[in-house]
Amino acid sequence: MIVLFTDFGPAGPYVGQVKAVLAREAAQQPVIDLLHAAPAMNPRASAYLLAALAPSIQGEATFVCVVDPGVGTDRRPLALRADGRWFVGPDNGLLDVVGKRARQAEWWEITWRPEVLSATFHGRDLFAPVAARLARGDAPPGRRCDSPLGARNWPADLPEVVYLDPYGNAATGLRGSIVGTDVVLRANERCFQPVTTFGDAPAGTAIWYVNSNAHAELAVSEGSAAGSCGLGIGTPVSVLEECP
């Protein structure tokens, strides 16, 4: 299975071009659009979101990861083998959190280049063909390299909003397991009370819960936390014993 995680937007022509390459070069592989609405041009928030979503894909998979504002510059293309699965993407931190949270992580610098490489669309020209090879069982076309994690040294969990979903719920970079239960989350001077699911609180209540990807998520019951609490990508979130 090949899984796509990008900031291409669901509407644009970029996803289709990547999929056409995969249909030619890995015809037997199902291709899953995991997310094309990753925080645009924001590898840091996207890295936490990728690490949250990737475990929801069961079994073997090769992830094509493209949030790549530095495309065409000298940033390296990487392949990461993390707990038995492949992740391909730019060396800008996008793969760091998956690597950091993995029990086993091995890194490669991709040195192969296609005959024709556009300056602005390595997702199509470089990452997709490499992913097709890995999904077919080939070795990464490059050389083993040291972990790039030290370069940025991002934490394993991030106390910030990293994603707003289509309902206006705000996922954080904090795993539920490290937040604990019975605590209150605070963001933008609003307190969010712990619940299990949406129906556990009256309409309009600011709530938080461990979402279906095991991360802490802020919401407003029957409403939009993004809209009514002014949350956005990067809004800091704090964990408190009780609302001050």
Which stretches of the chain bind a copy of itself, using CB under 8 A? 1, 3, 8-17, 19-21, 23-24, 27, 30, 32-37, 40-41, 53, 56-59, 69-73, 118-121, 124-125, 163, 165-167, 196-200, 209, 211-212, 222
Q: State the distance between the two ends of the chain, measured CA to CA, in whole angstroms.
A: 47
77 and 103 Cβ atoms separated by less than 8 Å: no
Q: Which is nearer to a copy of itself, 108 or 192 (CB)?
A: 192
Distance, CA of 1 to CA of 55 (rounded, Å): 14
| Closer by beta carbon to a copy of itself, 67 or else 158 | 67
Distance CA 186, CA 206 (A): 10
Q: What is the DSSP code (8-state) at residue 146?
A: -
Least distance in Å: CB of 32 to a copy of itself? 5
Q: How far is the CB of 83 from a copy of itself (least distance, A)?
A: 17
Nearer to a copy of itself, 108 or 221 (CB): 221
Dmax (CA) for the chain in angstroms is 60
Structure tokens at 113: 């280049």
Asked if 179 and 240 count as a contact pair (C-beta separation under 8 A), the reply is no
Rank residues 118 and 177 by Cβ distance to a copy of itself and give the closer one. Answer: 118
Least distance from a copy of itself to the Cβ atom of residue 39, Å:
12
119 vs 139 by CB, closer to a copy of itself: 119
- CA 88 distance to own-chain centroid: 12
- CA distances to 122, 171, 182 from 239, rounded to whole Å, are 39, 14, 10
Q: How many residues does the chain have?
A: 244
CB of 85 to a copy of itself, least distance (A): 13
For a copy of itself, the closer of residues 106 and 165 by Cβ is 165
